[in-house]
Chains A and B, each alone.
Chain A
Amino acid sequence: MKLHLTAWALAGILCLLQACAASPGNRTAGRDPAKTLPRNSLEKRRETRKAFLRKLKNTSEWKNRAFACAIVPPLSGCRHLPDELPPDGRYEDKLSIVMTPNEIGHAAFLLLPFRRESGVRISVSPLRGKSSSIPASALDLRIVKYWYQDGTAWCSYFADPLQQELVPELLLHDENLIRVDHEKKHNYLRVGDSWQWISYPESIRYGRFNYVKAPVRDAGKLAAFSLDPEENKKFFLTVRLPDGTAPGHYAGTLKIHAAGKELGTLQVALRVLPFKLPDPRTWYDLEKKFYTSIYMPPLSEGLRMADGDFKLVEKRRKAMYRNMRDHNLLYPLVDRRNRGDLPDAEAEKLFRNNLEWMRDCGLATDAVFGGVGNCDWYLVFRKPEQRPAGYEEKFFRDVDRDLAAIRSVMGKETEVYSIGWDEPGMKLLVGQRPFWRKIHDRGMKILSTAKDRHLQYGAYNEDFANYAGTLSPESARIWHAMGNRITNYANPHTGPENPDYIRRSHGMALYKADYDGSCNYHFLENGTGNVWRDTGSIFRTFAFVYPAADGVLDTLHYEGFRAGIDDIRYATKLRLLAEEAIARKNTDAYYAGKKALRFLALAQADRVNLDTLRMEMIEQILKLRDAISGVSRNKER
């Protein structure tokens, strides 16, 4: 009996031990998960991150801090997902920025927390140079918000509602403006004091979200945030130098703290270069401007959403235009006077005011794209006897009035481009001919969305062709041979969140393909009714920015656009100096100029590392300056 009991007890103990070994808390006993998982699986990447953080925590560099820091290229083509290590991260505590005085600089870093913290803040110090300093207010720190967008997010503007991808997009001072549910893969937008579900499916009919009046507000500067050891947190630093900032080296700090205790400090090193950037010019002709334009939300739609409140429309538009100027978007398409929807006096006021806002906010005034009609449905599709009496004459009297208004606000010499019918078939292209002629008779020009087929039936009367899709240097060559210009859209449309892709496709790729600029669709389109909800019927939201009550919220890809145009400005500076050096008739300067041009000519715009390209352009520019000033010094001697 005793033996039986002992045996049963032993068996019971054995079973118990086995059960403990199999319990969830001990499932992996005796197995290193990082070793047995497939090498590049998602689980392995997550485990690798955790293991790496455990290691870093004990290194001399990071052990006294609450986090490790990875400096990353601010406009990287890598998504830097919160639960993985950044493939292009450098683990250090120093942010480095190189910029010119008339450029907006940027940097980015990830905090990889070792422990949970809440109420975390970052104090930005002034940047001190040898004999001057840059105030802390010149530095703007924002959190890169990750949220769920359609399945093609990061890559494309096509809708894909059956899948949701986590991507970095919004640049926010207050990370709580958007709440994300990772389990459901849903986003919630804070409107006033409550959060609205904005990831509802296509089958929900929401109608229009009135983003003009909705109280969606970000904080004015970086608000308190939380740190979670399961997630990296990405930050984007923007630097706007005050006028007159002297070239040189500057240094400062970002102190990260919570509840009175310091969690860690990062260094900021800024080099202000000793030259300024010109406006961008084209690659094929240094005398020609590179235009940056974009389709805009209609003013009348804004006025309607504002319930006719002009002041509100003015406030929002001005904020938008200042923001666009800061982002190198200098020639947004201009609305025509809205005679259909508004009473005449209101339409007149809105039209004129809009031009004044553009001018006063520092947008370019030497050319206006849009603003003046050239034909409408009646004129193209109805014979004169079918139209109201005097219709055409009245139409062109209005054209003259609008042209006069533009010239009186923007300048007598302002070049005005009237915009033709969007994506016209051949019948429409031909049908517009007599009306485009009237535009040319009045000393204006025509901008039209176009393609190679237009060369058969048009082109002679299309001064600016806006081509869709893949870039074609051969098409550019043909348009240029006529003295015309060519811009690009839908390559891609706005929407894909990859800042490197947007930087390249609106910048160096477009530039090296001999295009005259960018005229993409769209700056902020409320097409599906709710700009905050990504999915439309076939397209995602077209937007560089998101609307807030007092303006707009920037995105990572919008910063990519700005950087892309700055790349062209650097290239323009390089070429101007190279020409100057070559003209000096001194062999050193001559060679310096040629080498610089050679370098730029060989740069493969579709694949070169754009940050390295920028650094290399700076190197070449500094060498050219030295070469030119060396010649000057020799001459003085």
Chain B
Amino acid sequence: MKHHGILKLLFLAAGCAGALSAQAGKTDYLAEIQKHERNRNRPDAIAECRRALEDKTLDAGHHYRIALHMASNATIAKDYELAAQALELAAHLPSNNRRQENAIRLDAFRRSSREHRYPVSLKIGLSLLDQADHLTAKQRAEFFPQLIWTAAKTGSHQAFASIAKAKSLPEENALELRIIRELAAAPSGNAQKTIGALPEFSRLSPEVRHALLQRAASALLLLNHADAAEEALAEARKLETPFRRNSCTVKAQEPAPPGAGGWILSDAWTLGGSGNFIPYDQAAEATLAADATAERLTGKKKNLDFYLKNTRFHLRYDSEGVHLFLVSGESDLEKYRSLNTGAGSLEIFLSPGMEREDYYQFIISLPDNRIDCYEKGSFSRHYRDIRKFMKSETLCRDGKMGTYVFLPWIFFYDVLPFDTNSSWRFGVIRWTPAGGITWGGRVHELGRMGKLVWEEPDPVLKRKIREKIAEHGIAKYNRDKGRLLEFWNDPDMGDRDFARTLLAPAFRKLDEAIAAYRSGKMTPEAFAETTLPDLMETDFLAEELRGSHLMNKFTGNSGKSSSEQGE
């Protein structure tokens, strides 16, 4: 009897020890896994999970928890196949509360899609369908559109069928599926009618309808129904607030005030101008950190209203050129003046046309007026170095900074607005200590920039502009011609054959044209068209001729440009 009692006690002790040991083992696994997770050591966490899952002494509940750890770590480590396997294992293990499992499943689904692992993403997503009613409304609102998109991306009609049958499919997403199905089947051009035939669609708010159509368009494109996708987008566009481009009429003022001081003394300092700046899109502003080529002041949006109310600009033109005057109010002006920096900058974009034209970008630091120009092409006959032509100054007074920028017509001689009959694109962004504000869209987005509409000059002013440009061209040409002929005729440095056969004849033609212009035999317009470009770009002309000369010399060739062929 005594022995039985002792044996019982021994068995009991052994059993407890075993249980305690098993308990300790479970705790060890989890502790180890969590330690690796704290250190973001996913490979070791996963390895520990594997060991735990192979341990048959652990009960289903523990295996379930470890499977979730495995899935979570595999997801973060981007091993989505492994994550899917772990989740499948978890699905077969009993649990009273699958909330965490669903959260991990949703996370794996989301991340795998972002990593373009569409087949496994679809697999994970479909595995969540049965549990979707346990998701929160917010999670379902994210999950179902993403699943529909993934089904379209993988071209899985079976997945579409499964989604359509899901009992927790929200009405909006059921409608989305219907729109996709019907637009895909509808003949081209029938989108409006097809969608109009869905009364539940018209009961939705414009925002929801817009989002639905965008999503349907994405799915249709992925399913190779590009026409239907375009039509769905067109329907979505009808719901959008149309983009309204800012516009500014550039009036003639002969003469415009010269320099910042002239503008400060005029009414423009306190009155008028274009002032409808808006806050720069914060999302776009945040991503500008990726632009390694320019540094811009970005603030935390405090006091932005002050800058919105106290920033405007004026644009005028006269016979000399284009005058831009910006008025930037600054409540801490004295602080920035003493440092000569820190008041932000003005970023300006300009293109002498609404399309087919290159553009210019420059940034003026405030209040020091340091200018950084960022060319967008090679300097050539058609794209010039703005630094050589621009004049700028910034003066401070009355709590404001007045920044003056002048660009002469000789910079734009070949794209004068009354010759091209075109508006120009113009954008100005003020980077203030409180953040960015913009008049013409976002950085480099020419499509969103404002429009400069040019008041037609009266005939006297137009003639004056042409004459000034022509006189400048003639003076420049005469100076350049002398220099070029002297160099190329130099017996040691030049090439007399080139000077004689190509350069001199070209200059003779230009001299004849100048004579014709001066004597009135050639109109200013004809002169501007046929002769002025070569006068303004004599160096480029000489280079082109030189290149032709050498090519002929090396290969033997003679050809005619369009002007020589009687254009």
Contact = CB atoms under 8 A, between A and B. Distances in A.
A292 B284 CA distance: 33
A619 B550 CA distance: 8
Contacts of A71: 559
A98 B562 contact: no
A91 B562 contact: yes
A608 B554 contact: no
A419 to B, nearest CB: 16
Interface stretch (A74-82, A124-132, A367-375): A74-82
A159 interface: yes
Given A151-B446, A154-B377, A498-B378, A40 B560 contact: no
B379 A606 contact: yes
Contacts of A386: 38-39
B567 interface: yes
Interface string A89-101: 1111010111000
A425 to B, nearest CB: 11
Given A41-B419, A155-B377, A490 B233 contact: no
Given A158-B445, A616-B550, A618-B554, A340 B359 contact: no
Contacts, number: 229
B222 A206 contact: yes
Contacts of B448: 160, 162
Contacts of A505: 378
Interface stretch (A8-16, A18-26, A196-204, A512-520): A196-204
A494 interface: no
B546 A208 contact: no
A171 interface: no
Interface in A371-389: 378, 382, 386-388
B419 A490 contact: no
Interface string B273-313: 00000000000100110111110000000000000000000
B356 A81 contact: yes
A469 B547 contact: no
Contact of B562 (A85, A201, A206, A378): A85
Nearest to B294: A469
A456 to B, nearest CB: 16
A167 B364 CA distance: 31
B562 A52 contact: yes
A162 B218 contact: no
A501 to B, nearest CB: 5
A163 interface: yes
B550 A152 contact: no
A637 to B, nearest CB: 26
Contacts of B243: 162
B200 interface: no
Contacts of A619: 550, 553
A270 B554 CA distance: 9
Nearest to B415: A40
Interface string A132-153: 0000000000000000000110
Interface stretch (B157-165, B224-232, B428-436): B224-232
Interface in A89-118: 89-92, 94, 96-98
A205 B213 CA distance: 12
Given A96-B551, A196-B226, A529-B116, A77 B561 contact: no
Contact of B41 (A96, A163, A388): A388
Contact of B149 (A205, A491, A595, A608): A205
B287 A90 contact: no
B287 A378 contact: no
A603 B94 CA distance: 79
A307 B26 CA distance: 38
Contact of B376 (A39, A155, A618): A155
Contacts of A437: none
A39 B529 contact: yes
A160 B445 contact: yes
A269 B293 contact: no
A163 B447 contact: yes
Contacts of B382: 77-78, 87
Nearest to A249: B555
A254 B374 CA distance: 42
Nearest to A301: B116
Contacts of B290: 538-539
Nearest to A79: B356
A81 B233 CA distance: 30
Nearest to A387: B39
Interface in B68-88: 77-78
B11 interface: no
A160 B447 contact: yes
Contacts of A165: 355-356
A166 B382 CA distance: 18
Contact of A38 (B292, B359, B385, B418): B418
Nearest to A78: B382
A449 B36 CA distance: 33
Interface in A474-512: 490-492, 496, 498, 500-501, 504-505
Contacts of B446: 151-152, 160, 163
**Interface hub of A87, A160, A387 (most chain B Cβ within 10 A):** A160
Nearest to B561: A90
A611 B422 CA distance: 32
B560 A92 contact: yes
A417 to B, nearest CB: 20
Interface string A241-252: 000000001000
A416 interface: no
B467 interface: no
B328 to A, nearest CB: 24
Nearest to B145: A205
B389 interface: no
A158 B443 contact: yes
B292 A204 contact: no
Interface in B228-253: 229-230, 233, 236, 243
Contacts of B36: 388
B551 A615 contact: yes
Contacts of B470: none
Contacts of B222: 206-207
A595 B493 contact: yes
A551 interface: no
A156 interface: yes
A155 B558 CA distance: 33
Given A96-B551, A163-B447, A501-B377, A378 B149 contact: no
A208 B543 CA distance: 47
B29 interface: no
B360 to A, nearest CB: 9
A286 to B, nearest CB: 24
> Which of B36, B380, B420: most chain A Cβ within 10 A?
B380
Contacts of A423: 292
B447 A161 contact: yes
B517 interface: no
Contacts of A70: 562
Interface in B530-559: 540, 543-544, 546-548, 550-551, 553-559
Interface in B434-482: 443-448
30 contacts: A40-B419, A42-B356, A48-B567, A71-B559, A81-B356, A85-B567, A91-B561, A92-B557, A97-B555, A152-B359, A152-B446, A154-B358, A158-B444, A162-B445, A197-B226, A200-B217, A203-B236, A206-B218, A208-B116, A269-B555, A423-B292, A449-B292, A468-B293, A470-B374, A490-B292, A498-B377, A607-B385, A609-B547, A615-B547, A616-B550
Given A92-B557, A469-B292, 9 more contacts: A41-B421, A96-B557, A155-B358, A188-B226, A197-B226, A203-B233, A207-B149, A490-B293, A498-B377
Interface of A: 37-42, 48, 52, 55-56, 59, 70-71, 77-79, 81, 85, 87-92, 94, 96-98, 151-152, 154-156, 158-163, 165-166, 188, 194, 196-197, 200-201, 203-208, 249, 269-271, 340-341, 378, 382, 386-388, 423, 449, 468-470, 490-492, 496, 498, 500-501, 504-505, 529, 537-539, 595, 606-609, 611-612, 615-616, 618-619
